Amino acid sequence: MTYGDESPWLWLAGAALASGFGTGLARRYALHRQLLDVPGDARRNHQTVTPRGGGIAMALLMWLACLALAFISGQWGWALLAAGLAGVAGIGWWDDHRPLSARLRFAVHLASAGVLALAGMGFDWPLWLCMCSFVAALALTNIWNFIDGINGIAASQALLVALLAAGLMGGAGQLLALALLGVTAGFLPWNFPRARIFMGDVGSGALGYLLAAIWAMAAADGLRLGWLLALPLAACIIDSTLTLLLRMWRGEKWWQAHSAHSYQIWARKLGRHAPVTLAYALWSLLAVILAAVFLRGASLAFLPLACILWFTAGCVCWLRLRKPIPNRNPT
């Protein structure tokens, strides 16, 4: 089968509409089953009881998109990608219903990362990229789970990465990026600026896993694209990685839930979520513009340096956000 000129736009619009409708159904289900996040635990930054698990619609739609692409392209790698996604989303959905041990969740994430590496063989990726996809899947699945702590931040960051990927890539990889762009756009009105439902582990884990797959597909199209796509990933990678290292340095139980990310600290300082989410989105949007407009024609040798400079600037911002000021209760 081949793609018509309107297919990409149909994928985008269809994914957005289905995601918005599906998230509404997920909210009704969560309220019925009493899947609620209550303020007061170590990770929450909200002051009202809010249903969770809204990301099931995004995860299910992206799973269907992978199966559709397997049928359209005839590449068995898509079926494996769907299987890995099902593992990450499934363990997240289970955890949203009944909290599971960190070891069990990590074991499933580890297995799903391995499935993505195997999928890379079906896509004819070089061995080094299959290995990198394993690391990226394991890292981004957990990073997006960590970053899902205030209204709209996880979905908006994934949306911006998907936006750049859709503009840089072609073929089936572009369709996957457009589908991800659509489902995050459909979910966002339910979660930002006011959270009527949280995406939960089912959604955050699925987003991170899919972003790892899209990054690997971009790198397979050309190493230049892999470097460019790393730029809008910087905000989430920096905040999660440096926070984790800081907690380990302090001797804290880093595997337990917490509220020590810079974006969470900043939200408590301001007493609101929206300015923080918008500031992070502006930073990542600048990365998208930098990659799409100014660096797209740069030499391959220069792109690693550009990434180093961008990540360094992000580390400086991370440190500044941690300066202590009196806290307020975020809403």
Residue 37: φ, ψ to 5°: -95, 120
Segments making up each domain of the chain, as ranges: 7-320
Mean pLDDT, the chain, integer: 91
Buried b (16+ CB within 10 A) or exposed e, 149-181: bbbbbbbbbbbbbbbbbbbbbeebbbbbbbbbb
pLDDT band at 256 (very low <50, low <70, confident <90, very high): confident
* pLDDT at residue 321, rounded to an integer: 81
DSSP 8-class letter at 90: H
Between 51 and 258, the more confident residue is 51
For 36-88, write each residue's pLDDT tens digit.
988 765 555 666 889 999 999 999 999 999 999 999 988 999 999 999 999 99
* The pLDDT of residue 271: 84
Neighbours of 108 (CB within 10 A): 21
SS3 250: coil
Query: By the 8 A CB rule, do 54 and 36 touch?
Result: no
At 124-147, the pLDDT tens digits run: 999 999 999 999 999 999 999 988
Q: How long a stretch of residues is the chain?
A: 331
What burial letters (b/e) apply to 308-317, b meaning 16+ CB within 10 Å? eebbeebeeb
Q: Based on C-alpha coordinates, what's the Rg of the chain? A: 19
> Tokens 């899902």 map to which residue?
148
| pLDDT confidence bin for 1, thresholds 50/70/90 | very low
Q: How crowded is residue 60: how many other Cβ atoms within 10 Å of its Cβ?
A: 21
Tens of pLDDT along 172-197?
999 999 999 999 999 999 999 999 99
pTM assigned to the model: 0.94
Q: In one letter, which amino acid is 52?
A: R
CB 136 within 8 A of CB 114: no
How does residue 322 score in pLDDT terms, banded at 50, 70 and 90? confident
Return the amino acid letter for 49: V
User: Which residues, other chains included, contact 13 with Cβ-Cβ below 8 Å and sequence gap of 6+?
Assistant: 182
